[in-house]
């Protein structure tokens, strides 16, 4: 899969405007008038619900449940331990009850108040895990990001393909807060411990639920009416279902997501051995003439802790295209190939010969790739926006 990203203009946090071949639609580029002081920016209005109904049931995944690879733990053993950990991306009980499916009633404009849990959301980085794995928060509130461990964590939030922020938290007990002003799904990753991954769901109304370990959920005090209900699961996918809610009645909503799972494309790579060339799963897997492949994967033996470009140092002829591919594995993190001073860090300056074109791949998931053609001879040094500060950078020498 090839992706070509356009120019990014980024502010400190949320103001990322992107033209990317598969980005999610972002903020409109027009000016947004400030919200009136009396209502929330989303226009949701709290009012008494006297004749509310509810929606509840079980989210299941019938049939065979894929067994995702265990996560290797390769850093900070005094805090993180050393034992493999089960993937948290797909957890179901014996009867297929699916945990951590998020059920959201869409477009509700008035009704009960936002629960305080969503107004005071927190992610705890605890023994090198995000707790909870799926956290719901109210739009236009702050989420607290806590480091309970006596080691460095580096939390990064992604909305679609865009990084919202990337923050190191070196001190035990440290809490930083970040406000999110757009509803939608956030993917969370630690740049120091690649196996730490989580989700934040930003909601604009209080009618949501996260399914429990048996797949059960319940959404109460919903004003009677017809609704679109979205069911999202980080691994299986997303669907919507129309539901009609009557006063003081529970409307059952039992969904089997097996068709959704069947539609999900087989992952391009299930487990990539470090140092092994693995096809990207598309017909372009074979390098073209004048194309050199650089893989992005973990440092052999580091078990999800350190990442590199392979090869890190390249010499190529002018006119050569370099293709970077993320082969970090299903549980691996996202990487970029970036040579743009706007994103450099003190540890990884962007180096380009005079007259050369800068580049920024965007955040590549496992199996995804990006290319850049080198037309100007000279010496280049590029980096990963997430892991560059932890040693993931490379050089390219282009000769005439």
CB of 328 to Cu ion, least distance (A): 8
Cα–Cα distance, 101 to 208 (Å, whole number): 11
**Per-residue contact string for residues 301-330; x = within reach of Cu ion by CB under 5 A:** ------x-----------------------
Cα–Cα distance, 241 to 174 (Å, whole number): 41
Of 98, 350, 384, 396, the residue at the interface with Cu ion (CB under 5 A) is 384
Indicate the burial class of 271 (C-beta count within 10 angstroms; 0-12, 13-18, 19 or more).
Answer: middle
Residue 89 vs 297, nearer CB to Cu ion: 297
CA proximity to 299, closest of 311, 308, 290, 291: 308
Phi-psi region of 319 (alpha: psi -120 to 50; beta: other; left: phi over 0): left
The percent helix, strand, coil of the chain (3-state, each to 5) is: 5, 40, 55
> E strands of 247-334, at which residues?
250-252, 255-256, 291-298, 307-310, 313-317, 321-326
Q: Tokens 């809610």 sit at which residue? A: 245
Residue 374 vs 382, nearer CB to Cu ion: 382
Is-contact 75 172, C-beta < 8 A?
no
Instruction: Give the full edge-to-edge strand order of the sheet including 369-373.
Output: 307-310, 291-298, 321-326, 369-373
335 binds Cu ion (CB under 5 A): yes
Candidate segments 193-201, 264-272, 343-351, 378-386, binder of Cu ion by CB under 5 A: 378-386
Of 135, 361, 386, 389, the residue at the interface with Cu ion (CB under 5 A) is 386
Candidate segments 212-220, 265-273, 339-347, 391-399, binder of Cu ion by CB under 5 A: 391-399
193 binds Cu ion (CB under 5 A): no
Residue 384 vs 398, nearer CB to Cu ion: 384
Residue 60 vs 326, nearer CB to Cu ion: 326
Residue 101 vs 392, nearer CB to Cu ion: 392
294 binds Cu ion (CB under 5 A): no
Residue 56 vs 391, nearer CB to Cu ion: 391
Residues present in the chain in total: 400
What is the rounded end-to-end Cα distance, in angstroms, of the chain? Answer: 30
Residue 211 vs 326, nearer CB to Cu ion: 326
CA 325 to chain centre: 18
103 binds Cu ion (CB under 5 A): no
CB of 310 to Cu ion, least distance (A): 12
Candidate segments 39-47, 90-98, 241-249, 376-384, binder of Cu ion by CB under 5 A: 376-384
CA proximity to 280, closest of 21, 2, 67: 2
Residue 60 vs 386, nearer CB to Cu ion: 386
CB of 298 to Cu ion, least distance (A): 10
387 binds Cu ion (CB under 5 A): yes
Which residues in this chain contact Cu ion in the complex, by CB under 5 A? Answer: 307, 335, 384, 386-387, 392
């Amino acid at each position: 899969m090839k992706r070509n990203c356009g120019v990014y203009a980024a502010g400190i946090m949320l103001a990322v405007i992107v033209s990317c071949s598969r980005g999610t639609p972002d903020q409109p580029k027009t000016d947004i008038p400030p919200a009136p002081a009396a209502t929330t920016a989303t226009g949701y209005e709290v009012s008494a619900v006297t004749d509310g109904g509810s929606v509840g049931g079980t989210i299941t995944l019938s049939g065979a449940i894929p067994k995702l690879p265990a996560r290797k733990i390769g850093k900070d053993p005094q805090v993180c331990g050393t034992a493999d950990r089960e993937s948290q991306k797909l957890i179901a009980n014996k009867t297929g009850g699916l945990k951590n499916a998020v059920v959201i009633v869409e477009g509700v404009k008035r009704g009960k108040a936002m629960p305080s849990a969503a107004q005071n959301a927190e992610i705890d980085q605890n023994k090198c895990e995000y707790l909870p794995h799926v956290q719901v928060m109210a739009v236009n509130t702050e989420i607290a990001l806590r480091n309970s461990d006596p080691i460095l964590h580096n939390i990064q939030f992604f909305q679609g393909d865009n990084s919202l922020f990337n923050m190191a938290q070196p001190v035990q007990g440290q809490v930083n807060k970040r406000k999110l002003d757009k509803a939608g799904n956030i993917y969370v990753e630690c740049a120091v411990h690649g196996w730490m991954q989580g989700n934040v769901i930003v909601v604009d109304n209080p009618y949501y639920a996260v399914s429990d370990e048996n797949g059960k959920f319940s959404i109460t005090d919903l004003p009677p009416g017809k609704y679109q209900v979205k069911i999202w699961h980080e691994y299986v996918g997303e669907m919507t279902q129309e539901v009609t809610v009557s006063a003081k009645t529970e409307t059952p909503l039992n969904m089997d997501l097996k068709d959704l799972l069947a539609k999900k494309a087989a992952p391009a790579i299930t487990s990539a051995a470090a140092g092994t060339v693995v096809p990207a799963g598309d017909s372009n897997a074979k390098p073209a003439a004048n194309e050199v492949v650089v893989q992005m994967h973990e440092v052999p033996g580091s078990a999800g802790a350190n990442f590199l470009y392979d090869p890190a140092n390249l010499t190529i002829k002018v006119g050569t295209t370099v293709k970077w591919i993320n082969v970090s594995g299903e549980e691996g993190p996202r990487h970029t190939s970036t040579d743009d001073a706007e994103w450099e860090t003190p540890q990884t300056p962007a180096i380009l010969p005079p007259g050369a074109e800068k580049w920024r791949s965007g955040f590549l998931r496992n199996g995804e790739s990006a290319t850049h053609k080198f037309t100007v001879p000279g010496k280049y040094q590029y980096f990963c926006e997430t892991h560059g500060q932890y040693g993931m950078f490379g050089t390219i020498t282009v000769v005439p």
